[in-house]
């Protein structure tokens, strides 16, 4: 698909070690022709960068933010506290607590500060959800997500049980 001008999703993560998972969000967005800006923004190691990113995201032309983090996963919630751009959190699997630490850290936001949360390591779903948000006002993105659904429907229908 050709590039969809002016639509931009920021894919941020707490560490470069999260990229193997977060790349799945970037890939589906790129496939749809959306501009992806990927970066490491750590709530704990680079708090000043967290603030400047969050406060400037709208003026930088970002429409949706996908934020992945593991363990004490404060990144998505803190970003959502500093911008009204929709934030989708991706809990990243950590070995010690099987990803439940990441999931619960992201999903239990206080009233008035929503973060949409996908499953543990489900970055591709975060990318597709971002596309569904963009599809509200962009017909070419709607066509793309409709095609994705059709492809998986046909794939499922083609399975058989012996
Ligand atoms: C979190 O700590 C990151 O999002 C990552 O999931 C986890 C481990 O980070 P590294 O120690 O690999 O940099 O902040």
Rounded to whole angstroms, what are the CA distances from 22 to 11, 27, 118, 139, 161?
7, 9, 12, 26, 33
Ligand 1 close to Cβ of residue 70 (< 6 A) = yes
Digit-coded pLDDT (tens) for 108-156: 999 999 999 999 999 999 999 999 999 999 999 999 999 999 999 999 9
Confirm whether pTM is higher than 0.85: yes
* Sign for the pseudo-dihedral over CA of 65, 43, 118, 160: positive
Ligand 1 binding pocket includes 69 (Cβ within 6 Å): yes
Return the closest-CA partner of residue 22 out of 81, 77, 88.
Answer: 88
Please give the distance, rounded to the nearest whole angstrom, from the Cα atom of residue 23 to the centre of ligand 1: 15
Give tens-digit pLDDT for 23-46.
999 999 999 999 999 999 999 999
Which of the 8 DSSP states describes residue 18?
G
Q: How far apart are CA 162 and CA 149, in angstroms?
A: 26
């Amino acid at each position: 698909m050709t590039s969809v001008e002016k639509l931009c999703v920021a894919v941020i993560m707490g560490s470069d070690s999260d990229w193997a998972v977060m790349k799945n969000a970037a890939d589906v967005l790129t496939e749809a022709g959306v501009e992806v800006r990927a970066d490491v923004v750590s709530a704990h190691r680079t708090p000043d960068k967290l603030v400047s990113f969050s406060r400037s995201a709208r003026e930088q032309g970002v429409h949706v933010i996908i934020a992945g983090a593991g363990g004490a996963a404060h990144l998505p919630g803190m970003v959502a506290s500093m911008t009204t751009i929709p934030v989708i959190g991706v809990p990243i699997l950590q070995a010690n607590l099987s990803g439940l630490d990441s999931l619960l850290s992201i999903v239990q936001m206080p009233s008035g500060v929503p973060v949409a949360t996908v499953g543990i390591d489900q970055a591709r779903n975060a990318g597709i959800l971002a596309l569904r948000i963009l599809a509200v006002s962009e017909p070419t993105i709607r066509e793309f997500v409709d095609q994705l659904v059709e492809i998986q429907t046909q794939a499922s229908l083609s399975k058989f049980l012996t």
